[in-house]
Amino acid sequence: MRVGLSEETGQIYGIENWGAGYFGINKKGHLIARPGEGDPRSVDIKEVIDDLARRKIKAPILLRFPQILANQIKKLHISFKNSIAEFGYRNSHLAVYPMKVNQRREVVEEYLREGNKYDFGLEVGSKAELYAALSLEQSPDSLLICNGFKDETFINLAFLGTRVGKQVVIVIEKLNELNTVIRKCQETGIRPMLGIRAKLYSRGSGKWEKSGGECAKFGLTTSEMLEVIRILNEARMIDSLKLLHFHIGSQITEIKRIKNAIKEAARVYCKVKKMHVPIEYLDVGGGMGVDYDGSKTSFDSSANYTMQEFANDVIYTIKNVCEDENVVEPIVVTESGRVLSAYHAMLVTNIQDEIETYPDDKEPIRPEDDDPQVVIELNDLYENINSKNYREYYHDALEHKDELFTLFDLGLVSLEDRAKGERLFWEVCEKASRFAQSARYVSEEFDDLRKQLCTKYLCNFSVFRSVPDNWAIEQLFPIMPIHRLDETPTTFATFVDITCDSDGVIDKFVDLKDVKEVLEIHPFKGEPYYIAILLVGAYQEVMGNFHNLFGTVNEAHVIMDKEESYLIQKIVPGHSIGDILNLSRYDKAFMHSNFRALIAQRVKDGQIDEQEAESIYREYEKNISGYTYLD
């Protein structure tokens, strides 16, 4: 047992920085998860994966920890409760969970199980989300907020919600939505609550900065808001206007931006209230950032504030503005999604193989006298490179490599000599890289070289399916092995997925001060070696696509019941080959009858006999229920 070493590896991967107390390393050198910071209960992730393997549930596997989701919800409630008490705020906080962050039924149900204790509700942005939300049991005092662009069917569904007793708020994003709502109210006598989404001048920060500001896609301008108030007054429906909403983007990295937006929105709220509008709720949207890299900075994959600071700033700022305007404080509504669900899911997958830049041939290179001059010169560089000349020798090697390929193209170098020259070139690079890394200052070209030389681990998953934001917006996620953490990781690697797409790579990793271009990892010994991609519970599952027809992954819901004891509450199998083909409209009967026809033709042509035909067909047919990932 080498506990000290486990702590060291924990530092390499930065668990303490980004883990929010949910993750750690146990005495066996395995990654563990906990239901909350300081909780004595924990689960050994490697044990779960081995247990699932015995049940024939193969990697990649998405592990879901409902208790972590519940803990984040509770933390949000407590943070606002603390701020309300600390600043003597004379109203309350309600949250709504934006379903688009992760609409999976189990996630939304778990959210409601915990959220119902605090009257937390739901936010929807489409008809399908609303349809699902209408079927779920919410606390009677919670809100069901309808954002997004709406047609008549969307509005009809929202009215159905009011009729069945839900506290529906239809947020007006466009003036024409208002006309439909007023007409429906007049026709039916039903009065859902209404909200307006304001287009603020303030902007967020980070990747979603454009969601806010004057040119944002969503929301009403100041004159449009005034027009809504005028129309509602005219229709004698101003009593329905209950909520002012804004959202300046997801993953807001700087707390200052949040404060500015709140200040502006609170002022708008007070001015609207003073126009004799019985408005009651100020909905500050989502956007609370997740510190994916643990740096606590305003970097895109981080956030320079905590949940408590966020709550404090929201409550304190609104209170100040309301006091200044002499207006009663509103009920504060938050629509945080990412920060609630990111932590609760991790993807675990296995390393399938390694792809080396050049074959690590143990046989020494034996140059011959009759080798081409270029090979002899590369061999000279290889034998004489040292800590003083490595830069110059590396540059010479680059030139010789170009020359080698030119000579090959001209037919002047054989395939064997090309192989020898290539190997010598990479050996020179390897030595040059080693000398460069031990120098006081490592220049950019040698950083690039190290990246080129590092091993690529072939990982059994699809970036596009499981971590699409890594590909689309270079979002970083913590990645680390789930075992061998009592062993120093001596290799550097990047990861490539199993899609036939060169974008299917992960070559940026979290670091406290920088972004790592290679990850410290253990040598692959051909034995099962698993890595986890953590904090993938928000947006990743629902935004993932089926590139190359890699389907949803196997899923297991894990409950931590006692110290180092767990329960696999639920297993949800990932897509089979048949399921995923069905989504592309290849039904089983179509494929099977077409394949049978092909075989029948071969039998007719006398190429195969009936018995062989049957065995080919059976072999083909049985694969339809297989997993889309590598076995």
Which residues contact ligand PLP by CB under 6 A? 98, 101, 123, 147, 247, 250-251, 285-288, 335-338
Question: Whole-number minimum distance, CB 167 to ligand PLP, in Å?
Answer: 17
Q: Which is nearer to ligand PLP, 73 or 558 (CB)?
A: 73
Q: Which of 285, 281, 277, 263 is nearest to 329 (CA)?
A: 281
Chain centroid, CA 306 distance in Å? 19
Q: Which is nearer to ligand PLP, 80 or 550 (CB)?
A: 80
Which distant-in-sequence residues (6+ apart) come within 8 Å of 277 by Cβ? 229, 238, 241
Q: Which is nearer to ligand PLP, 154 or 566 (CB)?
A: 154
Question: Whole-number minimum distance, CB 286 to ligand PLP, in Å?
Answer: 2
Question: Whole-number minimum distance, CB 67 to ligand PLP, in Å?
Answer: 20
Q: Which is nearer to ligand PLP, 211 or 628 (CB)?
A: 211
Residue type, 555: E
**What are the distances in angstroms from CA 68 to CA 41, 450, 558, 607, 630?**
12, 38, 10, 60, 30
DSSP letters for 530-585 = EEEE-S-TTTHHHH---GGG--PPEEEEEEEEETTEEEEEEEE---BHHHHHHHTT
Question: Whole-number minimum distance, CB 538 to ligand PLP, in Å?
Answer: 6
Q: Which of 28, 64, 21, 34 is nearest to 46 (CA)?
A: 28
93-98 and 331-334 strand pairing: parallel
Q: Which is nearer to ligand PLP, 101 or 262 (CB)?
A: 101
Q: Which is nearer to ligand PLP, 61 or 170 (CB)?
A: 170
**Are the CB atoms for 181 and 157 separated by under 8 Å?**
no
Q: Which is nearer to ligand PLP, 138 or 336 (CB)?
A: 336
- 3-state secondary structure (DSSP) of residue 145: strand
Question: Whole-number minimum distance, CB 100 to ligand PLP, in Å?
Answer: 7
**Are the CB atoms for 603 and 610 separated by under 8 Å?**
yes
Q: Which is nearer to ligand PLP, 127 or 338 (CB)?
A: 338
* C-alpha–C-alpha distance, residues 19 and 25, integer Å: 11
Q: Which of 63, 58, 52, 108 is nearest to 556 (CA)?
A: 63
Question: Whole-number minimum distance, CB 303 to ligand PLP, in Å?
Answer: 10
Question: Whole-number minimum distance, CB 129 to ligand PLP, in Å?
Answer: 12
Q: Which of 136, 116, 195, 127 is nearest to 158 (CA)?
A: 127
241-245 and 281-283 strand pairing: parallel
Q: Which is nearer to ligand PLP, 72 or 147 (CB)?
A: 147
**Are the CB atoms for 463 and 359 separated by under 8 Å?**
no
**What are the distances in angstroms from CA 517 to CA 30, 140, 290, 471?**
24, 50, 21, 15
* C-alpha–C-alpha distance, residues 379 and 345, integer Å: 51
**Are the CB atoms for 75 and 307 separated by under 8 Å?**
yes
Question: Whole-number minimum distance, CB 78 to ligand PLP, in Å?
Answer: 18
Question: Whole-number minimum distance, CB 285 to ligand PLP, in Å?
Answer: 5
**Backbone phi, then psi, for 165, in 5-degree steps?**
95, 10
Q: Which is nearer to ligand PLP, 147 or 301 (CB)?
A: 147
Tally Cβ neighbours within 10 Å of residue 241. Answer: 22
Question: Whole-number minimum distance, CB 162 to ligand PLP, in Å?
Answer: 21
* C-alpha–C-alpha distance, residues 543 and 520, integer Å: 29
Q: Which is nearer to ligand PLP, 257 or 338 (CB)?
A: 338
* C-alpha–C-alpha distance, residues 376 and 378, integer Å: 5
β-strand partners of 627: 576
Question: Whole-number minimum distance, CB 533 to ligand PLP, in Å?
Answer: 19
Question: Whole-number minimum distance, CB 96 to ligand PLP, in Å?
Answer: 8
Q: Which of 85, 544, 537, 76 is nearest to 333 (CA)?
A: 76
Question: Whole-number minimum distance, CB 209 to ligand PLP, in Å?
Answer: 12
Q: Which is nearer to ligand PLP, 43 or 96 (CB)?
A: 96
Question: Whole-number minimum distance, CB 432 to ligand PLP, in Å?
Answer: 45
**Are the CB atoms for 172 and 166 separated by under 8 Å?**
no
First-to-last CA distance in the chain? 32
Encoded tokens for 429: 């690079």
Q: Which is nearer to ligand PLP, 310 or 495 (CB)?
A: 310
Q: Which of 428, 431, 419, 371 is nearest to 399 (CA)?
A: 428
Q: Which is nearer to ligand PLP, 195 or 421 (CB)?
A: 195
Question: Whole-number minimum distance, CB 142 to ligand PLP, in Å?
Answer: 16
Question: Whole-number minimum distance, CB 345 to ligand PLP, in Å?
Answer: 14
* C-alpha–C-alpha distance, residues 60 and 462, integer Å: 9
Residue nearest to ligand PLP (CB): 286
Q: Which is nearer to ligand PLP, 123 or 486 (CB)?
A: 123
Q: Which is nearer to ligand PLP, 98 or 195 (CB)?
A: 98
List the beta strands (DSSP E) in 383-523. 455-459, 479-481, 491-496, 505-506, 509-510, 515-516, 519-521
* C-alpha–C-alpha distance, residues 293 and 301, integer Å: 6
* C-alpha–C-alpha distance, residues 338 and 432, integer Å: 44
Stated as kind and residue range, the H or E segment containing 307 is: helix 307-325
